[in-house]
């Protein structure tokens, strides 16, 4: 974690805490905090999102609140800065949970969300540099995919942004936003926009936001399984640890989680070497670090 990233996380925690202290809903706090991280360009979300193998920046996001189990998500959205806000618009302005691809991008533009180029500045040089790490076989797979069918090459993911919050009314919310894994095949979608995988929130159990390699998180449905264990009375730390260890044991997955129970107990847990995250109770300075053991 760079000093700039640590400073951005600190600012996000301070903003989120003060919004909650003034009575803002948990859903709004989650959205605003993630918007700040998307805007910064310091993380794999919003302005800093990874590009796919064709040089296009496609992003995923989801948001959920725990009172009525409302949720919204977007996948493979292009050309906007704040996919998390697009996800909230899906939740509040449609009868759907998820919109994908170009129709999702059109929907976000209709909602007058801030735009950005679909190809980052200097993407051609960066793409050429990154693809040197790919085998000729993988590059041929990409070229073939353009005219035949889908396939996937896994690469390590990093720096998805997320947040969980509990407001004065006892409502929890969770959200996440990502640019996926670097130089992935076009059309790849990870866990972030999938409710129950990358994000889940329920006032009867708690709120969870995930980061990590999405293919594994999807196969275990990690966020919902952690919430189910919270509802059975487990503490956040033990619930998260059990499910993440299962992820490693069953499919050699890699992930980290933000977990918040309705009583305010929380855990930041990861089975990756590092996970940049933080928390603040309004006293002293926010706690921000990249390893929680």
Catalytic residue set: 160
Can you point out the beta strands (E) in 111-225? Answer: 161-166, 172-178, 199-202, 206-212
Type and span of the H or E element at 183: none
CB 259 within 8 A of CB 246: no
Determine the Cα–Cα distance for residues 164 and 62; give it in Å rounded to an integer: 12
SS3 of 204, please? coil
* Torsional sign, CA 58, 192, 167, 88: positive
Determine the Cα–Cα distance for residues 156 and 170; give it in Å rounded to an integer: 36
Cα separation values, 215 from 55, 147, 164, 192, Å: 21, 24, 22, 10
Token pair 């959200």: residue = 175
- Pair type for strands 98-100 and 71-77: parallel
Token pair 């609140």: residue = 65
Type and span of the H or E element at 228: helix 222-231
């Amino acid at each position: 974690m760079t000093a700039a990233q640590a400073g951005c996380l600190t600012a996000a925690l301070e903003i989120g805490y003060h919004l909650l202290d003034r009575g803002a809903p948990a859903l709004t706090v989650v959205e605003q905090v993630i918007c700040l991280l998307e805007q910064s360009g310091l993380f794999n979300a919003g302005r800093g999102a990874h590009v796919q193998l064709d040089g296009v920046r496609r992003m995923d996001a989801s948001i959920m609140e725990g009172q009525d189990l409302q949720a919204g998500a977007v996948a493979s959205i292009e050309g906007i800065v704040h996919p998390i806000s697009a996800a909230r618009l899906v939740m509040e302005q449609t009868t759907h949970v998820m919109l994908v691809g170009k129709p999702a991008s059109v929907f976000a533009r209709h909602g007058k969300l801030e735009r950005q180029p679909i190809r980052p500045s200097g993407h051609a040089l960066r793409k050429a540099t990154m693809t040197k790490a790919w085998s000729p076989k993988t590059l041929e797979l990409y070229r073939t995919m353009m005219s035949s069918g889908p396939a996937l090459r896994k690469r390590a993911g990093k720096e998805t942004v997320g947040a969980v919050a509990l407001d004065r009314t006892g409502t929890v919310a969770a959200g996440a936003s990502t640019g996926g894994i670097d130089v992935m095949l076009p059309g790849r979608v990870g866990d972030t926009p999938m409710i129950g995988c990358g994000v889940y929130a329920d006032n009867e159990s708690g709120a969870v936001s995930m980061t990590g390699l999405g293919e594994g998180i999807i196969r275990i449905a990690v966020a919902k399984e952690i919430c189910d264990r919270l509802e059975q009375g487990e503490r956040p730390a033990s619930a998260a640890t059990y499910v993440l260890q299962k992820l490693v044991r069953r499919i050699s997955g890699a992930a980290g989680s933000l977990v918040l129970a309705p009583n305010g107990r929380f855990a930041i847990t990861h089975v990756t070497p590092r996970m940049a995250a933080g928390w603040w109770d309004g006293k002293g300075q926010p706690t921000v670090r990249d390893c929680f053991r």
